[in-house]
Structure 1
Amino acid sequence: MAKRKLTQAEMPVADHAFYGLVWAGTVLTERVDRALSKAHDLPVSWFEVMLWLASSPDPVPASVLGNSTMLSRSQVSRVVDALQSRGLVTRTPSARDARSVEVSLTPEGHQLFEAADATRRACLAPVFTDLLDQQDLEALSTVWQKLKANKEG
């Protein structure tokens, strides 16, 4: 008997949408991770932390990084340790809370982030951003906002 794939028509739309979300996240993340590791010796988890740091005008409390990224707090701590050992971030005591530290990119960290972000964008363009128009991107953004707004549900 010949093997065949199920078609979208044979799968409930909610199941197909969820599978597509998982597929896209897995495939695109693996693609970006390979490109960043090859070009910059920078795993995607490190890039994610750097992205949040680069997006903030002020140093970011370590606890906020744990709440913002898709990493656990212990993973964030290990990533920040690794980034600090490479001279890409600094930790400073918080002026607002003596028990907490704040993390920021060093000048070298900003420079590496800019290069890595260009690599990420170039890597994703042919398989993501070049395939989608502004309306598609806005629709995806709306979907993510709805899902994230109810993440505890």
Structure 2
Amino acid sequence: MAKRKLTQAEMPVADHAFYGLVWAGTVLTERVDRALSKAHDLPVSWFEVMLWLASSPDPVPASVLGNSTMLSRSQVSRVVDALQSRGLATRTPSARDARSVEVSLTPDGHRLFDEADATRRACLAPVFTDLLDQEDLEALSTVWRKLKANKEG
């Protein structure tokens, strides 16, 4: 008997939707990681931390980075160490809490982030943003917000 793939119709919709999220996250993350590493010697984990830092007008408490990214606190700490050693980020004592530090991008960090973000967008365009319309993107954003809001559940 010949082996064949299951069709979407043979899989419960919730299972297919979950598999799709896992597949898309894995494939797109690997694609972005390869592009950023090749063009900028920048792993995607570093880019994620830089994205949060670049999005904030003020220095970000290290604990907030740990809660915002998909990385563990120890991974965030190692990434910030690496960014700092490359002159891309700085740590400063918090003015509000003497026990904590705040992290910000340096001018070189902002410059590299802008270049890397352009690379990320170009890398994703043919396989993501060019394929989806505004309604698709808004639906995905809504799904993401609902899942993230209940992440502790």
TM range (shorter): over 0.9
- Residue 2 of structure 1 and its aligned partner are, at CA, apart by 2.1
Equivalent residues in 2 for 1:31-46, closer than 5 Å: 31-46=31-46
Q: Which moved more, 1:1-10 or 1:116-125?
A: 1-10
Distance 1:2 1:107 in 2: 60
Percent identity of the aligned residues? Answer: 95
Q: What TM-score, normalized to structure 2?
A: 0.99
- Residue 50 of structure 1 and its aligned partner are, at CA, apart by 0.1
Superposed CA deviations along residues 73-109 of structure 1, whole A, max 9, x for unmatched, are 0000000000000000000000000000000000000
Instruction: Find the residue that maps to 1:36 and give its secondary structure.
Output: helix
Q: What TM-score, normalized to structure 1?
A: 0.99
Superposed CA deviations along residues 25-55 of structure 1, whole A, max 9, x for unmatched, are 0000000000000000000000000000000
- Residue 144 of structure 1 and its aligned partner are, at CA, apart by 0.4
- Residue 129 of structure 1 and its aligned partner are, at CA, apart by 0.1
- Residue 13 of structure 1 and its aligned partner are, at CA, apart by 0.2
- Residue 3 of structure 1 and its aligned partner are, at CA, apart by 2.2
| 5+ residue gaps, structure 1 | none
Distance 1:18 1:144 in 2: 12
Distance 2:94 2:143 in 1: 35
Instruction: Find the residue that maps to 2:104 and give its secondary structure.
Output: strand
- Residue 61 of structure 1 and its aligned partner are, at CA, apart by 0.3
- Residue 4 of structure 1 and its aligned partner are, at CA, apart by 1.2
